[in-house]
Chain A
Amino acid sequence: MVQMRTMEIMVGAFMAAGFVALFFLAMQVSNLSNLTEGDGYHITARFDNIGGLKVRSPVAMAGVRIGRVTKISFDNTTYEAIVTMLVDNSHNTIPDDTFAKIYTAGLLGEQYIGLDPGGSEEFLTEGGKISLTQSALVLEEIIGQFLFSKAEEGGSNE
């Protein structure tokens, strides 16, 4: 029976190790820890073009992550993208004239929403809307604009 006891202990240790490993993977390796960072409030913003923004992309202010994108939908009448974000409750003093812009982290990195605070005394709350937005920069458009302006310059010089 002593044998049985040690065996039970070993199996218990094995199963505990397995579950700890799973827990470690879930909490430390994956984004679960970010998902469960307290409650927050939802705000929405409309963009002409969201580029490569995805659900769960970060929302940052002054480079600090304060929330994440929870939903991306498309408005059939205005042809705009509606992005819903969840902002952490601890950041509840965001002015309602804040400017939302889609940035790219590094040249090839992922895209995220950067918020530039405005000067209003009113703060955004649950269901609040950001009306000032700037779309993602699309590389082809930038190059296209650049070429176009160069061509115009050349044309006026002649």
Chain B
Amino acid sequence: MEQLARLGRIGISSLERLGRGHLLLAHMFSGVTALIMRPTLLIAQIHSVGVFSMLIITISGLFVGMVLGLQGYYILSQFGAEETLGVMVAASLVRELGPVVTALLFAGRAGSALTAEIGLMKATEQLSGLEMMAVDPIKRILTPRFMAGLISMPLLAALFSAIGVIGGHFVGVGLLGVDEGAYWSQMQSKIDLHEDIYNGVIKSIVFGFVCTWIALFQGHDCIPTSEGVSRATTRTVVHSALAILCLDFVLTALMFGE
């Protein structure tokens, strides 16, 4: 009986959190029009969310592409199909690794920072202070960060994929001697603009939405103590990673399952 009650409590509190999360989301969206009037706020946030993530994204993209080039070459050369290396590298990057790895890195790099920032602002009464200055902290502080995440993620994912393709080219063509023309032409004939590239972009937009939302909600909903903030930061990374991987499966099934 006690266990049942505990299960019930967990269920109720999760539902409450979910409800608060959606209220926060609606509140953030209500601030979008005001944000359009003040683009400098958005620029400042794209700077801290997007620009600061650029380095880790490009370096990771390069190495992931290079590894794909190496592994792909060893497997494909067993079938004498090294020319399709470009297809393999590009397809796996554009469809899966680009959006997913970027989102995971984003959750670790930008998401956790957002949670910690908002959580500390809450703990140091800055959010409360804004409210008493008749400034809506959600519209003023959270909305620009949310939009910045939404805008930055697809750009970062595209950057990751593009750098990855170049990394694969460097290893495949430069080091292992795959024919350069074959690398690009096979890629171009097999990678489809709609099926692959657009779907990859849609994926990364969805991931950007979910990751930023989770990060901001955890920050805004945390217990305003140093322990609460640190827990919230951990939760952001864990929840984001789980959400990304689950959603990736669902989206892939919807997009590529015929």
Contacts and interface: CB of A to CB of B under 8 A. Distances in A.
Given A25-B94, A29-B165, A30-B197, A19 B43 contact: no
The main secondary structure of chain B at its interface with chain A is helix
A30 B43 contact: no
A31 B192 contact: yes
Contacts of A25: 94, 158, 161-162, 165, 197
Interface string A1-31: 0001001101101110111111011101111
Given A14-B155, A30-B193, A21 B163 contact: yes
B51 A34 contact: no
A28 B40 contact: no
A56 interface: yes
A8 B41 CA distance: 11
A45 to B, nearest CB: 21
Interface string B113-151: 000000000000000000000000000000000000000
The winner among B40, B43, B162, B165 for most chain A CB atoms within 10 A is: B162
The residue in B46, B158, B161, B165 that gathers the most chain A C-beta atoms within 10 A of its C-beta is B158
A38 B174 CA distance: 32
Most chain-A CB neighbours within 10 Å: which of B188, B193, B196?
Answer: B193
B158 A21 contact: yes
Contacts of A28: 165, 184, 188
Given A31-B193, A32-B193, A22 B158 contact: yes
A19 to B, nearest CB: 7
B155 A29 contact: no
A35 interface: yes
B189 A19 contact: no
A21 B162 contact: yes
A85 B189 CA distance: 16
B193 A26 contact: yes
A58 interface: yes
Contact of A34 (B159, B189, B197): B189
B200 to A, nearest CB: 8
A11 B94 contact: no
Given A24-B162, A29-B165, A7 B193 contact: no
A24 B155 CA distance: 12
A29 B191 contact: yes
A34 B94 CA distance: 18
B161 A19 contact: no
Nearest to B200: A25
Interface string B5-17: 0000000000000
Interface of A: 4, 7-8, 10-11, 13-15, 17-22, 24-26, 28-35, 56, 58
12 contacts: A14-B155, A15-B50, A17-B54, A18-B156, A19-B155, A21-B163, A28-B188, A29-B165, A29-B191, A30-B191, A30-B196, A34-B189
Query: When A and B form their complex, which 5 residue pairs have the shortest distance between CB atoms, in order from nearest?
Result: A18-B155, A21-B162, A21-B158, A22-B158, A30-B193
